[in-house]
Chain A
Amino acid sequence: MGIFEAILLTVITAATPLVLAAIGELVTERSGVLNLGVEGMMVMGAACAFIATQVTGSPYIGILAGIASGALFSLLFGFLTLTLVANQVATGLALTILGLGVSGMIGEPYVGQSGIKLPQIVFPVLSDIPFLGAVLFKQDLIFYLSIALVAGVNWFLFRSRAGLKLRSVGDSHASAHALGINVIRTRYLAVMFGGACAGLAGAQLSLVYTPQWVENMSAGRGWIALALVVFSSWRPWRIVAGGYLFGAVSISQLYAQAFGVGIPSQFLSALPYLATIIVLILISHNRRTTLINTPASLGKSFVPDR
């Protein structure tokens, strides 16, 4: 395997959790709910996936645990913001703070243990394609899932009736309610989908990226995923483009450190965060396009009148 393929592989590994968390949040936001708790759900997913893998010995059960914990954790957010109409920004922050706390507590006995890495699934013929074969068809399950999820979400949102309903809830909850769509139920499902995806992203961190548990191991990736959703203008395939761009930035930083470029490592580590800010500026400085793309009811609470 050449050096270029090796680099591409590390980029994919770094990009996959971002893509996963962002595609989930995209669906949540398309339904009009802004869940800032991605970081918390992600780190919960990472902890639960790692613990379940250590206990059962199967990383596949770990994946399920990651998904389930993310979805359950997001229900907490759903109950507060949808049933009790609490402020979405503040509740999302609460979810992040609580997730970092709870994951740190339940993960503590597992610090320092070496985990089980998720095995690769090799497609027999395809993986022999020179160059791209080894990169795209010798991957773990979560990578394949991430691509399938993006394709699935794209189809769901723009080609299915349920997706149309979900978008209508996000653009005008009052009209959707008047048409007989159950706004609250739709939003609950969208929030849980977002949570499940963030949990899966967390599982990727503790089963593929670095197979171990480290406190706060999501390291701001949940927030970068939130920025990715803005970057994508709420369109699924752009999440992939953005996710791989960010993956490349965070990996280039590691390579630069390894090759001893004369820049202090702290400045290189700050690159992904600075890149996020720059990308946000480029995407949002035009007020009109931002207004057209953003789901119109994003962040607004809905209380059905009767």
Chain B
Amino acid sequence: MRIELERRPDVSKLFSILSPFIALGLTLVFGGIMFMILGKDPLAALYSFFVEPLTEVWSLHELAIKAAPLILIAVGLSVCYCSNNWNIGAEGQFIMGAIAGSILPVVFYEWQSPLVLPLMMLLGMLGGALFAGIPAFLKAHLNTNEILTSLMLVYVAQLFLDWLVRGPWRNPGGMNFPETRTFDATAILPEMIASGRAHWGFAFAIIAAVLIWFMMRYTLKGFEITVLGQSERAGRFAGFSSRKMIWFSMLLSGALAGLAGIAEVSGAIQQLRPVISPGYGFTAIIVAFLGRLNPLGIVVAGLVLALTYLGGEAVQVSLQISDKPIRVFQGLLLFFVLSCDTLIHYKIRMMWYDLSDTASEGAR
């Protein structure tokens, strides 16, 4: 059997909308098969993975808590990817944002003021942006591959956080546990509504998504991002600078990842620990692609991926299996999203017999 691609004259509108859903469906089918191999009833497993978390108020709040960092990071990444800058170190920028924002409640813990919280958020954005500035500088001025440098810096950030919470920032009254002092009430991001834990981070995520959507769709900057991403040469003729675009997209995505980091720490964890993220920075890459790099699509995609985290926790309890299937689900989903995107630009033909035999080739 052979598979042949035929380029569509126009981008298929139908498949632009449909492809993420096909990918989701395929992931569910394969996920069911995976549970069957693990010896569990696939329907019951999928139900407790994807439906049960949606049936109670408290778990909807958890969904919003987990979706907030995913959406914030992914929205920033979409700008990077649209402009052909491959920042894959959002996990590190998330951590550095969390650290920078935590300077106030950990080091200057005696200062209590309504200014603390906004300053923390600003510091978080600054920390994330500065850390993303390193690969940006290296790519823009020293021609260094941003994929590898941004990823290497993730490990550096993780080790730096580990050192801080075990060393200079360790809680003096914390029985030697590797964690900082818990934040003062003035440094904690408040809950959005009274019914549960979900904090303002989710609101930040929605606001960021709408703003970036507006920028991409209605402003010259958005046009510049798209043009430079599709053809650097065409962009240069239009007078756009790809060097400035590297800086813009990396700093923007770093700032959003940093904001996600400090919002998560201040709203959900309320102190620093050696590990503050279950891989949000990497999962956000999947979110960005599942949302087809469209900020509004990313909001939906962020909720879907947040659901996989919750579902993973749910099946751990209900089916006594480990949390490992979460990563498999997420990986499968990205695979199917990428393969279904082919349908947008190409018609796929299955050839059941080999046409390229020398005879038929010669007859043409």
Contacts and interface: CB of A to CB of B under 8 A. Distances in A.
Interface of A: 36, 76, 80, 83-87, 89-91, 93-94, 97-102, 104-105, 108, 220, 223, 226-227, 230, 264, 266-267, 269-270, 273-274, 276-277, 280-281, 284-287, 290, 303
9 contacts: A80-B339, A98-B328, A98-B331, A101-B331, A102-B331, A105-B327, A227-B148, A270-B155, A280-B145
Given A104-B324, A281-B138, 7 more contacts: A84-B3, A84-B342, A98-B331, A101-B327, A101-B329, A273-B155, A277-B152
Given A104-B324, A266-B160, A270-B156, A223 B331 contact: no
B142, B152, B159: most-surrounded residue (chain A CB, <10 A):
B152
Contacts of A273: 152-153, 155-156
A94 B334 contact: yes
A280 B334 contact: no
A87 B327 contact: no
Nearest to B142: A285
Given A108-B324, A227-B148, A284-B142, A101 B330 contact: yes
Contact of A230 (B3, B145, B328): B145
A90 B338 contact: yes
A93 B88 contact: yes
A73 B222 CA distance: 38
A35 B311 CA distance: 31
Contacts of B88: 93
A89 to B, nearest CB: 5
Contacts of A93: 88, 285, 334
Nearest to B135: A277
Contacts of A85: 5, 342, 346
Given A90-B334, A270-B155, A281-B138, A105 B325 contact: yes
Given A86-B339, A94-B335, A101 B286 contact: no
A86 B286 contact: no
What's the dominant secondary structure at chain A's contact region?
A: helix
Contact of B341 (A36, A86, A230, A274): A86
B111 to A, nearest CB: 28
Contacts of B86: 89
B138 A83 contact: no
A93 B5 CA distance: 24
A223 B152 contact: yes
B144 interface: yes
A208 to B, nearest CB: 23
A277 B142 contact: no
A288 B159 CA distance: 35
A36 B285 CA distance: 14
Contact of B149 (A266, A280, A287): A280
Contacts of A277: 138, 144, 148-149, 152-153
A89 B327 contact: no
Contact of A91 (B162, B324, B338, B346): B338
A105 B339 CA distance: 24
A98 B285 CA distance: 13
A99, A220, A223, A286: most-surrounded residue (chain B CB, <10 A):
A223
Contacts of B342: 84-86
B103 to A, nearest CB: 19
Contacts of B153: 273, 277
Contacts of B144: 277, 280-281, 284-285
Interface string B302-343: 000000000000000000001011111111101100110110
Nearest to B5: A303
A90 B289 contact: yes
B3, B138, B143, B286: most-surrounded residue (chain A CB, <10 A):
B143
B7 interface: yes
B214 to A, nearest CB: 25
Nearest to B38: A105
Contacts of A290: 143
Contacts of B107: none
A104 B325 CA distance: 9
B169 interface: no
A284 B145 contact: yes
Contacts of A267: 159, 163
Contact of A284 (B143, B166, B325): B143
Contacts of B156: 270, 273-274
A290 B139 CA distance: 13
A215 to B, nearest CB: 8
A108 B144 CA distance: 38
Contact of B152 (A76, A264, A276): A276
Nearest to A275: B152
Nearest to B343: A84
A89 B147 contact: yes
B6 to A, nearest CB: 9
A87 B338 contact: yes
A270 B159 contact: yes
A105 B322 contact: yes
A5 to B, nearest CB: 30
Given A85-B5, A303-B5, A97 B331 contact: yes
Leading 5 A-B pairs by shortest Cβ distance: A101-B327, A98-B331, A266-B163, A101-B328, A105-B324
Contacts of B160: 266, 270
